[in-house]
Amino acid sequence: MKLGSGKFGNVYVARERRSHFVFALKVLHKKQLIKHGVEHQLRREIEIQSHLRHVNILRLFNYFWDEKCVYLMLEMAPGGELYKMLTEKTRFSEARSAWYMRQMVLAIQYCHKKHVIHRDIKPENIL
C-alpha cells in the first residue's frame, strides 16, 4: 500500500516475510537524486538518521540499493503528516497545539545535543 509520494520517489507500507515486522519503505529513484544533485545529502541523512534514537524521531532501521533505487526501511508513523491533519481540522485547540510544540521541541533539543540541525522543519515533515 502506498503511503505517499515525493520529488524523489514513493513511500509504501512493507512487511518483512519471516517476522511480519511492518515498516515504511521509502523508495528513492537514483536518476532523480542525481538529476537534483542530492546524492551526498542522502548519504549524510542516512548516516545521521541511523544514529538517532528518540521517541519523537522516526527511526531508520536499515537501507539498501540496487541499480535503479535506494531503499530506506523506516519506522511507521501511523498518524500521518501534521500538515494533513491541520488542513482537515483547519485549527487545533491551544492544548493540542501546545502538545505538538512540546514534542517538536523535545526532538529538536535531542538533535541539537547530537550536533544535528534539521533545516527543513515544516508541517509536511512532522509525522
Query: Smallest Cα–Cα separation from 123: which of 95, 93, 83?
Result: 83
Residue range 13-64, pLDDT digits in tens: 999 999 999 999 999 999 999 999 999 999 999 999 999 999 999 999 999 9
Q: Is 124 marked within a binding site?
A: yes
Chain mean pLDDT for the chain: 96
Residue range 51-74, pLDDT digits in tens: 999 999 999 999 999 999 999 999
Q: What is the pLDDT of residue 79?
A: 84
Is 66 catalytic? The answer is: no
Q: Which residues pair with 9 in a beta bridge?
A: 28
Q: Which residues pair with 69 in a beta bridge?
A: 29
Q: Is 75 marked within a binding site?
A: yes
The phi and psi torsions of 36 (rounded to 5 degrees) equal: -95, 0
- Domain residue ranges in the chain: 1-78, 79-126
Domain 1-78, CATH among 3.30.1330.180, 3.65.10.10, 3.20.20.20, 3.30.200.20: 3.30.200.20
Q: Which three cell numbers stand for residue 95?
A: 492544548
Q: Is 101 marked within a binding site?
A: no
User: Residue 80 — very low, low, confident or very high, per pLDDT cuts 50/70/90?
Assistant: confident
pLDDT at 90 over 90: no
Question: Which position among 101, 120, 122, 123 bears the catalytic label?
Answer: 120
Q: Is 76 marked within a binding site?
A: yes
